[in-house]
Each structure stands twice: as structure tokens, then as C-alpha cells.
Amino acid sequence: MILGTLELPRTAALAPMAGVADRAFRELCMSYGACYCVSEMASAKGLVLSGCGRRTDALLYLSEAERPAAVQLFGEDPDIMARAARLALRHNPQAIDINMGCPAPKVAGNGGGSALLRDPVLAQRIVAAVVGAVDVPVTVKIRKGWDDDHVTAVEIARRAEEAGAAAIAVHGRTRVQMYAPPVDWDIIRRVKQSVSIPVIGNGDVTTPAAAMAMYDQTGCDLVMIGRGAMGRPWLFAQVKAFLERGELLPDPPVAQRMEVMLRHMEAICRYKGEGVAMREARKHAAWYFTGLRGAAGLRRSAFSLETLDDARRLAEEAAEQNRP
């Protein structure tokens, strides 16, 4: 997929996920072969009002280990979005991504995120304003529509292209669905057929075979993985091997998975401090334990983690419980 001056291989990118895909997780997934990633979403209004305050700056910061990468902004005012995009350039992103898919009430309820799927004209004005404000590619992430009676993905995609967007990512669920099944890959195919810019497919890619199926069924230019990588960053290596060589790599043995989990937690602590980091790491630990023997008890213990040493002891317990 061509994005500005970038040529992204036909593997998989990491989706933006608020509260999940922070710097530590992005760097980890990129080390396993993700070809591209997008930051956690930042409020355009917050960015403009704070002038790149510490918290927003941390959301948008991009290290060399996670590039190529885009920063993602959300908001409902074209002028503020444009001003925020210019401020975000201080982090030298390869692209600016506009969030038009977040279903969270605190975002959609204030007119941003997936609420824009109900106002294609405003959505187009926002894209045009951001495109006119920056000199890097502008991408847009959308959903199928607001609900089954308001499926606007094709119209939004066409309007985004007219406004100068360089690519569009489509999640195959409506806002009303949130993350409930089923996911509609056909809407990704319909969007791909309706525009000439690259289309990124997103939704329920949890295995290498699913990644190939999305490429084959939708004709998308790139696959984007979100929740499928939670607790499984090695999925990107598996997808890459399967798509490039037809090789199906096994999941790592449990001891190695625990090493990856600890490396992940150490990185969160390095970037955020142990106190904050370990509270955030609890959900990640629970995901790493999925499918293991004794997973229910391990997850219960994960939600009381306070220190890295606690995590190390729990990792040893998980490895011991799952010895062959």
C-alpha cells in the first residue's frame, strides 16, 4: 500500500486503541512485524487548548521504534481539527489520522468519533480542513455506519477522497454494535470498489488465515489488527510469515509468552512509572493469560498487581501451571 512516500508491505498494521495501544504496546507489535501503527486518539480541542500539554504530548509521542506511524485526532470542529493537526506535526508523524469511528459515549456523545458518520457533510469539511493544514498524508478511520438504518461508510469514503484523504480505514461494525458480532467485511469490499484511494480493512482479524481471507474477500490494500493482538503481539509475526511464505508459525510456548508479557510491562513502567503502569498493565496481563491452564485464577490475580515483582511472580506461577 502506498501512503504518501511510504510503501507498506502486504502484511498487517496495528489499529489505534485508546487505553491499549500506547507507546509500549506499539513498539512491541512493531518489533513483531507490524508494518505500521497509529497512536491512541487525542482530543483536538484538548491539544489546541493545552498547546501540547504533557498528557496529550504523551499520547502523540512517536519513538523511532514504532515508525512508520500516524497520530490520531478526534473532534467535531473543522478549524480546531486543522489547528490540532498542525500542532501534532511536532512529533513528525508519517500521517495524520482522523477518528470517525470511536463508539465511546464520551467521544461520540460530544459530536466526535462515530457521531460524524451521521453527518457526511461535516465529515468532509473536517477532512478538507486537516488536509489543507498539513503537508503529510491524512487518513480517516470509520465504521460501517451509525446503525443498520444509517450505513454511511461508502458516502463518507467518497467524500473523504474528494476532500483529499490519502487512505481510509473501515471497521465492519456500526456504532450501535460497538464490538458485538457479526462483523461485516462486505462493507469494506463496497468501500474499496467505490474509491480510488487505498482502503484498510479492520475487524475480527485474529489469525493469519483471517488476514488472508480479509485481503481475498474485500480486496483491501492493507489489513489492520486491533483486539486480535491484545495479549498476542506475536500475531503480527504469524501473519507476516503466512502471507509472505505460507508458513504457519505456532504460538510461543507459555514460558516465552510470559517473557513477552514481562517485557511489555517493563516498557510500560519505563514510560509511565511503576505506579501508573502496573494499574494499566493488569488488563494486559489478563489478556496474556487467555487460553492457559488456570486462566481464571491467573486473571483474578492479575487485577491486583501492584509492582513489577508481583508480575514476575505471577508469570512464574503461570509458567509452572502450564508446563508440558
| Active centre residues (catalytic) | 102
Identify the three-state secondary structure at position 187.
helix
Pairing of strands 95-100, 167-174: unpaired
| Residue 196: CB atoms within 10 Å | 7
Q: What are 246's three cell numbers?
A: 505460507
Please report which residue ranges of 134-253 form alpha helices under DSSP H: 153-162, 186-194, 208-218, 235-245
Place of cell 476532500: 163
Buried b (16+ CB within 10 A) or exposed e, 91-108: bebbbbbbbbbbbbeebb
Residue 159 pairs in a beta bridge with none
Dist. CA 170–CA 220, nearest whole Å: 10
Q: Cα 208 vs. chain centroid, distance in angstroms? A: 17
By C-alpha distance, which of 203, 180, 200 is closest to 191? 200
Torsion angles phi and psi, residue 46, rounded to 5: -60, -40
Buried b (16+ CB within 10 A) or exposed e, 271-298: bbebeebbebbbebbbbbbeebeebeeb
C-beta separation of 59 from 23 below 8 A: no
C-beta separation of 168 from 3 below 8 A: no
Dist. CA 77–CA 255, nearest whole Å: 49
